[in-house]
Chains A and B, each alone.
Chain A
Amino acid sequence: MATGIRDKVAILGMGCSKFGERWESNAEDLMVEAYTEALSDAGIETKQIEAAWLSTAFEDIHVGKSGVPLAMALRLPYIPVTRVENFCASGSEALRGATYAVASGACDIALALGVEKLKDTGYGGLPQRSRGALNSMYWANVSAPGNFAQIASAYRAKHGVGKEDLKRAMAHISVKSHDNASLNPKAHLRNKVTEDQVLNAPMVSEPLGLFDCCGVSDGAACAIVTTPEIARSLGKKDLVSIKAMQLSVSNGTEAQHNSWDGSYFMTARIAAGRAYAEAGVKRPRDEISLVEAHDCFSITELVTMEDLQLSPEGGAVRDIMDGFYDRDGKLPCQIDGGLKCFGHPIGASGLRMTYELYLQLLGRAGARQRAKNPVRGLVHNLGGFPNQNVCSITILGQHGA
């Protein structure tokens, strides 16, 4: 019987580049920027890394395919390097590869690095890409905001939430994320915004306005993982260890079977249930200290609070308006600004979210540090479309907690 990943792997070091419109940098520069910080934080040398995972989702507009770009940029010593892609959960997938490698005993120290260089397309929003030969012939003409906006229509219908009430709760989410990012020097969008600004912004995809959509950014993030024992032997005292890593992937039920009502993320509920079991979390609302949710769009964050069992079903609007998820609330969500304002370089995002929790758990988050160091944090990534997606949940915390 599998016992799960809890406390088997510790984070030895992490790094994250400045996110934003990095006109001056290639993807390789961003990789090195994140890696240099992580290597220094880990206190090791490149030759000690035994295996590596690279995550990118739009590789065709920057580094291209395979693990070679990572090995070349970091001059890795001819070790195994694997490139992974799983929509917007790619970064967490790289971390899962490295974590599993260490947990299996196949290697002592492994690297996960995610990068995306999105601002070389010539237009705003995510790059256009093929959806596959047959999919392109019958899928709706979707964009990312249009996909996620679908959730809002079904959520309103199911819970009887008025258009204005939902829009206001969504606006609260975005105002909060801008406010949080203003304290984060590495964040892409650091300006504060008002609720009126958010509500009056141009419509992107009904009901999502400009401020309901996350930033499209360049950036990279990196983690070096090892066993708790090796981390201690390398002089680390306060350890952050991985409590759970779960992934749930749609099999067509949402898109093709009439059992899903469109108002929530089936994968998120399944992955969260498994992750809490793996981490030994019984009462998520009380036991999770911080959450980095995949706030690609404000509505995604809102619905996700329920899918993660942090708010009761149909109760997210109230919790959000009560400030429950604000920086000074009981359970801050996106304390670093989130995808919304830290930015969303796809392949790096899961690792960037992990980076923030790692800093918070160690009390190293600077101006935005929680007064009382958190015990457990949760990273939630969602990739794809509400009706067919991948959802990754990582729980990390103080070692032994």
Chain B
Amino acid sequence: MAGISAIGAYIPRLRLSRKLMTEANAWFNPGLKPYGKGERAVANWDEDVVTMAVEVARGVLGKTAGTGPGAIYLASTTAPFAVRQNAGIVAEALGAAGALRTMDVGASQRAGTTALLAAFDTALARKQRVLVLAGEKRHSPAGSVQEMTSGDAAVAVLVEEGDGIARLVAQRSTSVDFVDHYRAQGREFDYGWEERWIREEGYLKLVPPVIAGVLVDAGVSADAIHHFCMPCTLSRVPQAVAKKAGIADDRVRGNLDGVCGDTGAAHALLMLAQVLETAKPGERILVIGFGQGVDALLFEVTAGIDKARPDTVASSLAARKELASYSRFLAFNDLVKLERGLRAEADKQTPLTTLYRNRDMILGLVGGRCERCGTIQFPKAAICVNPACGASGSQVDQPFADFHGRIQTWSADQLTYCPDPPAHYGMVQFDEGGRMTVDFTDVDVGAVDVGMPMRMVFRIKEVDSQRGFVRYFWKAAPVSAAIAA
């Protein structure tokens, strides 16, 4: 038997009002008006699937004692790299690279649940912890329904032998080439078919038989399901599927539509994470993944939930910041040809040799600690920076990622090229020792000052638009904006 031992979510703090979106597009498509309710989560300009996965993974692993994961699976249909394993970048940032199985799972909205199923197999077969990450930074044409209904987020699920907080009781999958939407290689956006057909021929015909099978496997009846989690942006479809499967209407869980939006391959797991924040021991949760077939996972909440109750859906929903500009959203998502100025033209080629040689430092934020005098310093260097020491070859690896610090100096820079000016940066001095002059992120203009507590987060540093390479590094973010550590 294997179970979920920890689960967490990261919903980026920016929220865009759908009213703002529909008003901006009403001149062209007044039909969007019904979608103009609530708000959607928006990744900051320097976030993508990899950075959000790192953030959510840190939260889950940070609360977990014991050995690190033996495998990391990353599910997404919007991961930044088509070739260069995205899970591998996450592993480097987590300091987990090395003897580790990593895998990207994609190409279907069902990727999140499929990766989770694979994780259970791995956990049982290899007797290892498996970290499943699912995330999306949705990319949709301006003014589309998908732009209204979707949201950005990442979820982390730690799977291992034992009951955990919820054990997997039964699971079934089907594969059906039902193309409700698709995106061909090299294409920017998804292409979708009529919603009525997706509802009738898709959800309503493909999902109920799989549910029936899972219930048989588990030896329970439909009314034994306490929470039904099926991501779907189509109105009332989860309820219709539930009804057909014999599950009562009040067991259908909300899809975070009004507060986050549909997060694609991550969404089934996001709904599961939310349910586990309040579910009681003994309750059963049925999770559905839909996309070219169906995954159905039936969980039973265990007594362990009371000792390790997850809370990050609630906390990251609470840590919201209004993005009061639709045009800024378009710019963040490269949906408008913005005049970025001549300074943006600077060549940002990354020498891959240099990056590889320094990957601990750049991706893992590993500095040095002098074994002679104890001075913590970044970067790690051959000769200790402490003027009173100066020892040579005395330093061991010192990870900085979990350090907390305070702003020593700062500015808000309008001159340097930044996708979201002004660029805030400054010197952060860490409580544990060491300092660095570093970019700030998730800060509000006018709210930065000397002494402000900061933590480190893994973000996009720059994008090489000429070659498509994404350059990652760590930035300092206000402690208050972070998910509760």
Q: Which residues of A contact B (CB under 8 A)?
A: 121-123, 125, 128, 130, 133-134, 136-147, 149-154, 156-157, 202-208, 251-253, 255-259, 261-262, 385-387
A257→B413 contact, CB < 8 A? no
B426→A150 contact, CB < 8 A? yes
Q: List 23 A-B contacts (CB under 8 A).
A: A121-B342, A128-B346, A133-B351, A134-B354, A134-B358, A137-B354, A137-B471, A140-B425, A141-B417, A141-B439, A142-B437, A143-B416, A146-B415, A147-B411, A149-B411, A150-B409, A153-B449, A203-B412, A204-B415, A205-B415, A206-B411, A206-B413, A258-B434
Q: Which residues of B contact A (CB under 8 A)?
A: 341-343, 345-348, 350-351, 354-355, 358, 361-362, 375, 377-379, 381, 385-387, 407-418, 422-423, 425-427, 429, 433-439, 449-451, 461-462, 471, 473
B423→A146 contact, CB < 8 A? yes
Q: Assuming the A-B contacts A150-B427, A256-B435, A259-B387, are A137 and B414 also in contact, with contact meaning beta carbons closer than 8 angstroms in the complex?
A: no
A205→B413 contact, CB < 8 A? yes
13 new A-B pairs (CB below 8 Å) besides A121-B342, A128-B345, A203-B422? A134-B354, A149-B411, A150-B411, A150-B437, A153-B410, A154-B408, A205-B422, A206-B412, A206-B422, A255-B435, A256-B381, A257-B375, A262-B408
User: Which chain A positions have C-beta within 8 A of B451?
Assistant: 157
State which of B355, B412, B429, B436 has its C-beta within 8 Å of the C-beta of A137: B355
Residue of B nearest to A387 (CB): B437
User: Which chain B positions have C-beta within 8 A of A207?
Assistant: 411
Residue of B nearest to A261 (CB): B408
**How long is the Cα–Cα vector from A261 to B450 in the complex, in angstroms?**
11
User: Which chain A positions have C-beta within 8 A of B423?
Assistant: 141, 143, 146
B362→A257 contact, CB < 8 A? no
Residue of A nearest to B475 (CB): A140
A122→B414 contact, CB < 8 A? no
B413→A142 contact, CB < 8 A? yes
A145→B409 contact, CB < 8 A? no
User: Which chain A positions have C-beta within 8 A of B362?
Assistant: 137-138
A145→B413 contact, CB < 8 A? yes
User: Which chain B positions have C-beta within 8 A of A205?
Assistant: 411-415, 422
B351→A123 contact, CB < 8 A? no
Residue of B nearest to A388 (CB): B437
**How long is the Cα–Cα vector from A157 to B410 in the complex, in angstroms?**
11
Interface centre among A134, A255, A256, by most B CB within 10 Å?
A256
State which of A130, A202, A258 has its C-beta within 8 Å of the C-beta of B435: A258
User: Which chain A positions have C-beta within 8 A of B414?
Assistant: 202-205
Q: Assuming the A-B contacts A140-B425, A205-B411, are A258 and B343 also in contact, with contact meaning beta carbons closer than 8 angstroms in the complex?
A: no
CB distance from B374 to the nearest CB of A (A): 12
**How long is the Cα–Cα vector from A253 to B343 in the complex, in angstroms?**
31
B409→A151 contact, CB < 8 A? yes
Q: Assuming the A-B contacts A150-B427, A203-B414, A206-B422, are A257 and B409 also in contact, with contact meaning beta carbons closer than 8 angstroms in the complex?
A: no
B343→A123 contact, CB < 8 A? yes
Q: Assuming the A-B contacts A121-B342, A140-B438, A256-B385, are A387 and B429 also in contact, with contact meaning beta carbons closer than 8 angstroms in the complex?
A: no
**How long is the Cα–Cα vector from A123 to B414 in the complex, in angstroms?**
14
CB distance from A284 to the nearest CB of B (A): 25
State which of B408, B434, B450 has its C-beta within 8 Å of the C-beta of A256: B434
**How long is the Cα–Cα vector from A252 to B436 in the complex, in angstroms?**
11
A154→B385 contact, CB < 8 A? no
Q: Assuming the A-B contacts A128-B346, A145-B415, A151-B409, are A252 and B425 also in contact, with contact meaning beta carbons closer than 8 angstroms in the complex?
A: no
A138→B473 contact, CB < 8 A? yes
B354→A258 contact, CB < 8 A? no
User: Which chain A positions have C-beta within 8 A of B436?
Assistant: 138, 255-256
**How long is the Cα–Cα vector from A141 to B425 in the complex, in angstroms?**
7
User: Which chain B positions have C-beta within 8 A of A261?
Assistant: 408
A146→B434 contact, CB < 8 A? no
User: Which chain B positions have C-beta within 8 A of A150?
Assistant: 409-411, 426-427, 437
Residue of A nearest to B439 (CB): A140
**How long is the Cα–Cα vector from A154 to B449 in the complex, in angstroms?**
10
Q: Assuming the A-B contacts A137-B362, A140-B425, are A253 and B415 also in contact, with contact meaning beta carbons closer than 8 angstroms in the complex?
A: no
Q: Assuming the A-B contacts A137-B471, A140-B438, A205-B411, are A252 and B381 also in contact, with contact meaning beta carbons closer than 8 angstroms in the complex?
A: yes
**How long is the Cα–Cα vector from A261 to B350 in the complex, in angstroms?**
33
A123→B341 contact, CB < 8 A? yes
B409→A153 contact, CB < 8 A? yes
A125→B415 contact, CB < 8 A? yes
User: Which chain B positions have C-beta within 8 A of A152?
Assistant: 411
State which of A133, A138, A387 has its C-beta within 8 Å of the C-beta of B379: A138
User: Which chain B positions have C-beta within 8 A of A146?
Assistant: 411, 413, 415-416, 423, 425
Residue of A nearest to B472 (CB): A137
A143→B409 contact, CB < 8 A? no
CB distance from A134 to the nearest CB of B (A): 6
User: Which chain B positions have C-beta within 8 A of A202?
Assistant: 414
A256→B377 contact, CB < 8 A? yes
- Top 6 closest pairs, chain A to chain B, by CB: A146-B413, A149-B411, A140-B425, A150-B409, A143-B416, A206-B412
A123→B425 contact, CB < 8 A? no
Q: Assuming the A-B contacts A153-B409, A252-B381, A253-B387, are A142 and B461 also in contact, with contact meaning beta carbons closer than 8 angstroms in the complex?
A: no
CB distance from A204 to the nearest CB of B (A): 5
CB distance from B309 to the nearest CB of A (A): 38
User: Which chain B positions have C-beta within 8 A of A128?
Assistant: 343, 345-346, 417
**How long is the Cα–Cα vector from A84 to B346 in the complex, in angstroms?**
25
B427→A262 contact, CB < 8 A? yes
CB distance from B367 to the nearest CB of A (A): 9
User: Which chain B positions have C-beta within 8 A of A122?
Assistant: 342
User: Which chain A positions have C-beta within 8 A of B347?
Assistant: 130
State which of B408, B412, B425, B450 has its C-beta within 8 Å of the C-beta of A142: B425
User: Which chain B positions have C-beta within 8 A of A139?
Assistant: 437
**How long is the Cα–Cα vector from A386 to B426 in the complex, in angstroms?**
11
**How long is the Cα–Cα vector from A134 to B473 in the complex, in angstroms?**
12
Residue of B nearest to A147 (CB): B411
Q: Assuming the A-B contacts A133-B354, A154-B409, are A255 and B437 also in contact, with contact meaning beta carbons closer than 8 angstroms in the complex?
A: yes
**How long is the Cα–Cα vector from A53 to B149 in the complex, in angstroms?**
65
**How long is the Cα–Cα vector from A179 to B11 in the complex, in angstroms?**
54
Q: Assuming the A-B contacts A137-B355, A138-B362, are A252 and B439 also in contact, with contact meaning beta carbons closer than 8 angstroms in the complex?
A: no
User: Which chain A positions have C-beta within 8 A of B415?
Assistant: 125, 143-146, 204-205
User: Which chain B positions have C-beta within 8 A of A134?
Assistant: 354, 358
User: Which chain B positions have C-beta within 8 A of A206?
Assistant: 411-413, 422
CB distance from A262 to the nearest CB of B (A): 4
CB distance from A51 to the nearest CB of B (A): 35
**How long is the Cα–Cα vector from A391 to B377 in the complex, in angstroms?**
24
Q: Assuming the A-B contacts A123-B341, A252-B385, are A153 and B450 also in contact, with contact meaning beta carbons closer than 8 angstroms in the complex?
A: yes
CB distance from B384 to the nearest CB of A (A): 9
**How long is the Cα–Cα vector from A319 to B34 in the complex, in angstroms?**
65
**How long is the Cα–Cα vector from A151 to B426 in the complex, in angstroms?**
10
Residue of A nearest to B471 (CB): A137
Residue of B nearest to A128 (CB): B346
CB distance from B428 to the nearest CB of A (A): 10
User: Which chain A positions have C-beta within 8 A of B343?
Assistant: 123, 125, 128
**How long is the Cα–Cα vector from A136 to B473 in the complex, in angstroms?**
10
CB distance from B427 to the nearest CB of A (A): 6
User: Which chain B positions have C-beta within 8 A of A130?
Assistant: 347
CB distance from B261 to the nearest CB of A (A): 30
User: Which chain A positions have C-beta within 8 A of B385?
Assistant: 251-253, 256-257
State which of A153, A256, A386 has its C-beta within 8 Å of the C-beta of B378: A256
State which of A125, A153, A251 has its C-beta within 8 Å of the C-beta of B426: A153
B387→A140 contact, CB < 8 A? no
B437→A143 contact, CB < 8 A? no
Residue of A nearest to B410 (CB): A153
**How long is the Cα–Cα vector from A78 to B413 in the complex, in angstroms?**
46
